[in-house]
Amino acid sequence: MLLAIDIGNTSISFGLFRRSGLPAANISPVKVFRIATDAKVGSLKKTVAKNAKKVDSIIICSVVPKKTKVLQELLGQLFKIKPKIIGKDIKVPIKNLYKNPYQVGADRLVNAYACKLLYGAPAIIIDFGTATTFDYLNKKCEYAGGIITPGIEISLDALYKKTALLPKAKMKSPQAFLGKNTTESIRSGVSFGLSCMCDGLITTFKKRYSGNIKVIATGGLAMFFKNRCKSINCVDKDLTLKGLNLIHKRSFGLLASGSSKISFR
């Protein structure tokens, strides 16, 4: 089994993929589990040991370097395997048009590569995580750049910490457009505000670049916004894990290089 790991600012996602059998049948994970990024080492070790048994390969993408080191040591103890790290051991096989390519988060490039093979281009990947990111894959299947905005939790936390009287609100679906108390007003503002921002940005994308752009949503809150953002074409909550799996397959020669859609050898 391949253990694919996506270390984010809020949570760590793990996906188990079969390596045997036909490659086309092993695109999606057979099991996914998650834990908070700030979880203690003991809890992290128990979670991995409980959910991942027969692992013979590990691939990681991370935006939290300190946690990467902790997890490398832990995985070495559990499986006696040295994980492959995106950006260090394996380069994402996609052209990156950022002025400084090293500034792009590994997860964003992995998402772009997965989108290229699974959905085609041009496309926009919206990742509803700690931050909400919009990444553009142009018609040449190049990573053309993106937009970063605060995510729901950042917005809720900022309202609480930067004001004297607003309460700490947990994100739930607002009961109505107009809130009838402070907590509901916050939920309505953050929920409808981010939804309208997403649709507005996608409209601008299509005016500036191409009207025929697929919009793929991923991340922990993708399902929350599925029916709130009219511009979203589909949700793939495991896009990053699938991308790691595809990159791993390519490194073993199971994927044809240069293809704009998924193609197995």
Cβ count near 207 (within 10 Å):
9
How far is the CA of 97 from the CAs of 104, 106, 242, in angstroms?
A: 10, 14, 23
Active site residues: 107
Residue 137 corresponds to which amino acid? L
What CA–CA distance (Å, rounded) separates 116 from 190? Answer: 31
Cβ count near 47 (within 10 Å):
17
What CA–CA distance (Å, rounded) separates 189 from 89? Answer: 43
Q: Hey, what are 169's tokens? A: 């609100």
> Locate tokens 């752009």: which residue?
213
CA triplet 249, 87, 205: central angle to 5 degrees? Answer: 90
What CA–CA distance (Å, rounded) separates 107 from 252? Answer: 21
The number of helices, as runs of H, and strands, as runs of E, in the chain is 7, 10
